[in-house]
Amino acid sequence: MEEIHKLSRSLRTRLYSPRIRTVGDLLRQKPGDLLRLLWVGPARVRAIEEVLALRGLRLGMSGSEIAALPDTVVATKLCDPSELDPWESE
């Protein structure tokens, strides 16, 4: 899913957590879930929603909605774990 790379690398690495590793994991999250993450505020949630909307996707999708998506979308990794840098700033 090329659109996910429209999000900055630093945002993708900040989203990456034990609960959010793939686009499918991200789609299951509600906006409020993302707002509880460190360094993710309303503007970043809007940016995520805009990128997902390019593919007709949204935050808070149900399990059955996600199951209907192609595996190539759902399994897309947000970032490579080697990119993780907890000290990186934008």
CA angle 69, 54, 68 (to 5 degrees): 10
Which has the higher per-residue pLDDT, 67 or 12? 67
pLDDT digits (tens, 9 = 90+) for 24-54: 999 999 999 999 987 889 999 999 999 899 8
**pTM listed for this prediction:** 0.80
Cα 34 from Cα 44, distance rounded (Å): 9
The SS3 call for residue 52 is: helix
